Chains A and B, each alone.
Chain A
Amino acid sequence: MPLYLAIKEMLRNRVRYAVVILIVALITLLVLFTAALGDGLALTGKEYIENIDAELILFQDDVDVSIPASQLNRARLNNIKRVAGVDDVGPIGFAIASILLEGGETRDKIDVSLIGVEPGKPGAPTVSQGVGLRSPRANEVVLDQNVLDRVDIPIGSVIDLKVVQGAEEEIYSLKVVGYTEGQHYFFLPSVFVPLRTWELIRPRPDFDETGMDIVFNIAAVKLEDPDTWPEMIEFIEYNVNGVELTDPVTTYRATQGFTEMQSIIDTQQRFVVLIVMLVIGSFFQIQTLQKVAQIGMLKIIGASNWIIATTLLVQVMLTTVLGVALGGLTVWAIAVSLPPGIPAVFDGTKVAVAAITLLVSGPVAGLIALRTVLRVEPLTAVGLGA
């Protein structure tokens, strides 16, 4: 009976309900798309660190796990290598560069994270096509697949890498030897070069206190027993002076702006869910207030509160479900047609959580109207009250 009444009313007032369903769909689109953009942005900020083949990340002491602020040298690395329980250590240096694309005088460019690694050591990328970095000094690069999504650069070709050194722009030509996948770092696709090459081409600081030694930012520490990483942090920090260790998750969460960005996106999503509740709650409350006389009449002829309340809840559920489904389908259509370069990641679990949140928020908002329905006094509602 509630289903019959609910559907009849929705069909006979289809334009009104269609508008609300459309609004819920648009809000769903907003929720899911901002979630996907949030995840995408987060991923582009952390992907390389998240996928790194090491249990711990080594920093210079007192830099608050800040990668740009951290400066390490070979001496520290060698000390870490000698600590019992450490399997291997790989130095990693970060910088920003641009790949210059083929063209005329004004060549287009793709900004990339220039990551210097030691071939075969932790931190070096796993190659999906071609070969990995072989020599520590070679002018070779391994390209992140995310670069290839934007421009086709075949293995064996030479790319021009532009870096700013002091006040000058320098261009270095490097040979592409392989591809790797999923290696965004600091919101940019990555280009991996051997550490000595990186040292040569990276933007140089005005003052280098380490003199002749190669200075890099962090090191990836691989342990003999990965499960012991919490204890090993204390153990290594006790045995080697001037270093700080943490796990990869803490590392990418400490990336500049990462937490703030996540917080902004989360807050935005909460507000959007609140808007859904306001839209659905207001719509059904207004609907209910317009129907008070009719509800009173139904109660007079013998319709129970259960029937009337369930009818309302069925309508709220149908409106929310149809709106969320329509919004979900639109998001899916957008997801499959998005051009590369837009950092949107549609994580199934997060999409499901967002959809369930929206589905729950509708009925919760409908509780106000439900209260009104239950409190309708039949005689007063039809104008016969004392």
Chain B
Amino acid sequence: MANALETKSISKIYRTDATEVRAVDNVSIGVKAGEFVALVGPSGSGKTTMLAMLAGLLRPSRGEALVEDQELSQMKESELTRFRLRHIGFTLQANNLVSYLTAQENVELMLRLNRKFDRRGRKRARELLERLGLGERLNSLPSQLSGGQQQRVAIARALVHDPSIVLADEPTASLDTERSPPPAWIPSVPIKWSRR
């Protein structure tokens, strides 16, 4: 099976006048469709930089990042934006949601941006939120949700348009432990639901 995501000797080096910081240094990975991969490391080890390069938000200093066999660094900014929209689902640690859209509208936003918003899309968004335990909070604004609930809405949004890969930056950081399943479960299980 071909890799859905691949990096070839990818590096990101930040240079200032006096110093050089190698945030990511010569990393080569391959991730196949359906695989679940976690990047683990201490704070400042370059996890977010790696994700940003995989999403085409940062251009690598060296090496290549390929998603669905397409070399991201060869694309123009506008092409990268379109590519991200169609092929990548992304969740952040914080600032994930549009403040003036409800939970359901936030998830549907991805469908609207992809011009896939219809009755089926709406149903799919609702089902994803319900499966993530937010069936009662569909019409709540982000300010009315806890950090963990907001994170789950962001996960639903990252999945709803059926992307090739989902990139999640510390997706479990805000999740409440007493009501939630184990951290790794949260991103992986909904991905399986969404593939059905």
Contact for A302 among B14, B48, B82, B105, CB less than 8 A: B82
User: A302 and B92 in contact (CB under 8 A), knowing A307-B113, A379-B52, A384-B169?
Assistant: no
B131 within 8 A of A: no
Give B89's nearest chain A residue, CB to CB: A301
User: A384 and B90 in contact (CB under 8 A), knowing A294-B98, A294-B99?
Assistant: no
A236 CB to closest chain B CB (Å) equals 71
Chain A residues whose CB sits within 8 angstroms of the CB of B81 once the complex forms: 299, 302-305
Q: Are A9 and B95 in contact (CB under 8 A)?
A: no
Q: Are B49 and A386 in contact (CB under 8 A)?
A: yes
Q: Are A386 and B95 in contact (CB under 8 A)?
A: no
Q: Are A297 and B92 in contact (CB under 8 A)?
A: yes
A8 within 8 A of B: yes
Tell me what chain A mostly uses at the interface: helix, strand, loop, or mixed: helix
Chain A residues whose CB sits within 8 angstroms of the CB of B94 once the complex forms: 382-383
Chain A residues whose CB sits within 8 angstroms of the CB of B55 once the complex forms: 300
A337 within 8 A of B: no
Q: Are B84 and A301 in contact (CB under 8 A)?
A: yes
Chain A residues 281-334 with CB under 8 Å of chain B are: 291, 293-294, 296-305, 307
Q: Are A302 and B85 in contact (CB under 8 A)?
A: yes
Q: Are A1 and B112 in contact (CB under 8 A)?
A: yes
Distance between Cα atoms of A13 and B97 in the complex (Å): 16
B129 within 8 A of A: no
How many interface contacts (CB-CB < 8 Å) are there between A and B?
72
Chain B residues whose CB sits within 8 angstroms of the CB of A382 once the complex forms: 92, 94-95
Chain B residues whose CB sits within 8 angstroms of the CB of A297 once the complex forms: 92, 95-98
A368 CB to closest chain B CB (Å) equals 22
Contact for A300 among B86, B90, B98, CB less than 8 A: B90
B27 within 8 A of A: no
B138 within 8 A of A: no
Chain B residues whose CB sits within 8 angstroms of the CB of A294 once the complex forms: 95, 98-99
Contact for B101 among A8, A303, A304, A386, CB less than 8 A: A8
Chain A residues whose CB sits within 8 angstroms of the CB of B31 once the complex forms: none
Interface string of B56-97 (1 = CB under 8 A from A): 011000000000000000000010011011101010101111
Chain B residues whose CB sits within 8 angstroms of the CB of A8 once the complex forms: 100-101, 105
Chain B residues whose CB sits within 8 angstroms of the CB of A304 once the complex forms: 78, 81-82, 85
Contact for B113 among A1, A378, A379, CB less than 8 A: A1
B12 CB to closest chain A CB (Å) equals 8
Chain B residues whose CB sits within 8 angstroms of the CB of A299 once the complex forms: 81
Interface string of B38-57 (1 = CB under 8 A from A): 00000000001100100101
Distance between Cα atoms of A303 and B114 in the complex (Å): 9
Interface residues on chain B, number (Cβ under 8 Å): 35
A107 within 8 A of B: no
Distance between Cα atoms of A299 and B92 in the complex (Å): 12
A305 CB to closest chain B CB (Å) equals 8
A67 CB to closest chain B CB (Å) equals 63
A4 within 8 A of B: yes
User: A300 and B112 in contact (CB under 8 A), knowing A8-B100, A8-B101?
Assistant: no
Distance between Cα atoms of A219 and B85 in the complex (Å): 79
Give B101's nearest chain A residue, CB to CB: A8
Contact for A298 among B98, B105, B141, CB less than 8 A: B98
A185 CB to closest chain B CB (Å) equals 58
Chain B residues whose CB sits within 8 angstroms of the CB of A1 once the complex forms: 112-113
Distance between Cα atoms of A4 and B95 in the complex (Å): 21
Chain A residues 359-386 with CB under 8 Å of chain B are: 378-379, 382-384, 386
Distance between Cα atoms of A299 and B99 in the complex (Å): 15
Give A4's nearest chain B residue, CB to CB: B112
B145 within 8 A of A: no
Chain A residues whose CB sits within 8 angstroms of the CB of B110 once the complex forms: 301-302
Q: Are A302 and B100 in contact (CB under 8 A)?
A: no
B84 CB to closest chain A CB (Å) equals 4
Interface string of A322-353 (1 = CB under 8 A from B): 00000000000000000000000000000000
User: A302 and B112 in contact (CB under 8 A), knowing A8-B101, A383-B94, A384-B92?
Assistant: no
* A301, A307, A379, most chain B CB atoms within 10 A: A301
22 inter-chain pairs at a CB distance below 8 angstroms, sorted by A residue, are A8-B100, A293-B95, A294-B99, A297-B92, A297-B96, A297-B97, A298-B98, A300-B57, A300-B84, A300-B92, A301-B110, A302-B82, A302-B84, A302-B113, A303-B85, A304-B78, A304-B82, A307-B113, A378-B57, A379-B52, A379-B58, A386-B49
Q: 10 tightest A-B contacts by CB? A: A302-B85, A12-B100, A293-B95, A302-B84, A9-B100, A382-B95, A386-B14, A304-B81, A384-B48, A297-B95
Contacts A298-B98, A386-B49 supplied; 6 other A-B pairs, CB < 8 Å:
A9-B100, A294-B99, A297-B95, A302-B114, A382-B92, A384-B92
